[in-house]
């Protein structure tokens, strides 16, 4: 409930756009998820030696999944950084998507 109420109260108190304050909370949660997935992938790749009681086949699947998750999270983070540096490009892509998707 607080994640929805916080942007609303901030928008009212500081006279900001409600959609802009909600977007900051959504972006914050997205970055949190990216960080957790990235850390989980790094753990599985480099620090999973202590998981000796785990089935080796399951551990291999976990390592591959962790690698894919870490690479995906890193790519998503890089995309966010590039998008933040080129807002005109993001607006162009958004306009293109608007033409295709009603």
59-72 burial by CB neighbour count: b if 16+ within 10 A, else e? beebbeebeebbee
pLDDT of 67 strictly over 80: yes
Report the alpha-carbon distance of residue 20 to residue 25 in Å, rounded: 9
pLDDT in tens, 17-64: 888 888 888 888 888 988 888 888 888 778 777 666 777 888 788 888
């Amino acid at each position: 409930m607080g994640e929805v109420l916080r942007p609303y109260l901030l928008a009212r108190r500081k006279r900001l756009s409600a959609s802009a304050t909600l977007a900051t909370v959504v972006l914050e949660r997205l970055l949190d998820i990216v960080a957790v997935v990235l850390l989980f992938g790094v753990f599985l790749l480099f620090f999973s030696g202590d998981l000796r009681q785990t089935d080796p086949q399951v551990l291999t699947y976990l390592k591959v999944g962790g690698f894919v998750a870490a690479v995906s999270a890193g790519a998503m983070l890089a995309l966010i950084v590039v998008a933040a540096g080129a807002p005109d490009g993001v607006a162009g892509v958004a306009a293109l998507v608007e033409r295709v998707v009603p």
